[in-house]
Structure 1
Amino acid sequence: MDSRDQLRRRARQQRQSLSPAENARLSSLACSIFCNHPWFRNSHKIAAFFPIDGEINPDLLVERAWAMGKRCYFPVLKPGSANALWFHEYRPGDRLLTNRFGINEPDPLKRTRISPMALDIVLTPLVCFDASGTRLGMGGGYYDRSFSHLRRRNRWFKPKMIGIAFDSQKLNRIPSENWDIPLDAIVSDKQMYIAD
């Protein structure tokens, strides 16, 4: 089996090869699938992300959430911490800042920060995934560290961790590590996979 770094490298190249038009088309399909799911309909506080590096774009899902009166939160690099995230509310028209990786973030001085445990849904970017809910991100461990509390809680007392990806990012098996936080489901442009 290939190493996690090899899988990550190949999957990123494949994802980056999509044209902007194809990325937008497939992103729209994935967002529509999740917007029709009860987990989305019954949620109130959703964490999303600003896409980079050819990631699927959850903008349509966020717009639908706002139209339904839901609150949306986006990651902010936690100051003075190694590879951890805070989540701050973001609303249409709010000013964005750019972090050290070139990723947009809400201005942490303008909106409320939320505890990760108070979120209903966390949409996670990923490079590739498998049916068991294992995800490979970009390799920094930001989501795994930020949601490490999920290993210590009962299943009912945590946000649903939902990967959102192109179906072409699905692999048969990804080797997992003990620090990995598994996904509850993955939404793709073809279907929603509930992790086994």
Structure 2
Amino acid sequence: MQSISHLPTQQIRNIIRKIRRNLPIEQRLQAEQTIYLQVQQHTKIQLAHNIAIFLSFDGEVNTQPIIEYLWQQGKSVFLPLIDPVKPNHLIFIAYEQDTPLIANQFDIFEPIYDANKIIPYQSLDVIFTPLVAFDDRNYRIGMGGGYYDRLLQNYQQENIYPIGLAFKCQQIDHVMNQAWDIQLPEIIKG
């Protein structure tokens, strides 16, 4: 557990992102295998129909095997897209094997906007949530845009279950959370 919570948030992001990117390949693969097994055995995921997940970026847990697993289980998979109408918000677009992707302004791949493939946020059962750092209370530090904190403000009332995905090396002793920060019900780590 990293004892760096006294540092400014951006500095924490930089440190943890570097640690995450430099994770030895053997350790990374072993951790991801642990995470994949937890995902496969997770009751809420087994019962879910509509699942939102992110495409890995900058050393994050590789989500491609999770996506493949979800497709094999007959789940509908959705990727986040920065809303072109409300740029501080995310929308979710259906993701299939042949869905074309383009890089957004952060160099993160996302589907091309298609109004016919948008799912209302309230129809999602599970939202896999990216994070840079987290603490044992399941508060997270994201990339700084606040997209997921805005998205998840009412997740309990909407009956949506957000799950963080992280390597254990991303855990810090304390996230200095703000009033608007969302505490995740669960983070799957490996």
Q: TM-score, normalised by structure 2?
A: 0.89
Equivalent of 1:53, from 58, 69, 79? 58
> Whose relative contact order is higher, 1 or 2, with alpha carbons under 8 Å and at least 6 apart?
2
Question: What residue in structure 2 maps to residue 159 of structure 1?
Answer: 160
The aligned amino acid for 1:138 is: M
Question: What residue in structure 2 maps to residue 178 of structure 1?
Answer: 179
- The 3 A distance-change label for structure 1 pair 72 and 10 is same
Q: What's the secondary structure of 1:149's corresponding residue?
A: coil
Q: What's the secondary structure of 1:148's corresponding residue?
A: coil
- The 3 A distance-change label for structure 1 pair 14 and 148 is same
Q: State the Cα distance separating 1:20 from its structure 2 match.
A: 5.0
Equivalent of 2:40, from 35, 38, 63? 35
| Percentage of pairs with the same residue | 32
Q: State the Cα distance separating 1:111 from its structure 2 match.
A: 5.5
Q: State the Cα distance separating 1:178 from its structure 2 match.
A: 1.0
Q: State the Cα distance separating 1:109 from its structure 2 match.
A: 2.0
The question of whether the paired residues in 2 share the 8 Å contact of 1:116 and 1:147 is answered with no
Deviation digits for residues 50-72 of structure 1 (CA, Å, limit 9, x no counterpart): 11111111211111111111000
Map 1:4-153 → 2, pairs under 5 A: 4-20=9-25, 22-109=27-114, 112-150=117-155
Q: State the Cα distance separating 1:110 from its structure 2 match.
A: 7.7
Q: Give the Cα separation in 2 of the matches to 1:8 and 1:100.
A: 19
Q: Give the Cα separation in 2 of the matches to 1:80 and 1:93.
A: 25
Q: State the Cα distance separating 1:106 from its structure 2 match.
A: 1.5
Q: State the Cα distance separating 1:3 from its structure 2 match.
A: 2.8
Q: Give the Cα separation in 2 of the matches to 1:119 and 1:110.
A: 17
The aligned amino acid for 1:83 is: N
Question: What residue in structure 1 maps to residue 189 of structure 2?
Answer: 188
Q: What's the secondary structure of 2:163's corresponding residue?
A: strand
Q: State the Cα distance separating 1:102 from its structure 2 match.
A: 1.3
Q: State the Cα distance separating 1:187 from its structure 2 match.
A: 0.3
The question of whether the paired residues in 1 share the 8 Å contact of 2:93 and 2:114 is answered with no
- The 3 A distance-change label for structure 1 pair 81 and 39 is same
The question of whether the paired residues in 2 share the 8 Å contact of 1:126 and 1:135 is answered with yes
Q: Give the Cα separation in 2 of the matches to 1:57 and 1:111.
A: 28
Q: What's the secondary structure of 2:154's corresponding residue?
A: helix
Q: Give the Cα separation in 2 of the matches to 1:101 and 1:5.
A: 16
Q: Give the Cα separation in 1 of the matches to 2:90 and 2:170.
A: 24
The question of whether the paired residues in 2 share the 8 Å contact of 1:48 and 1:123 is answered with yes
Q: Give the Cα separation in 2 of the matches to 1:105 and 1:20.
A: 26
- The 3 A distance-change label for structure 1 pair 170 and 61 is same
Q: Give the Cα separation in 2 of the matches to 1:149 and 1:19.
A: 38
Moved more, 28-37 or 85-94: 28-37
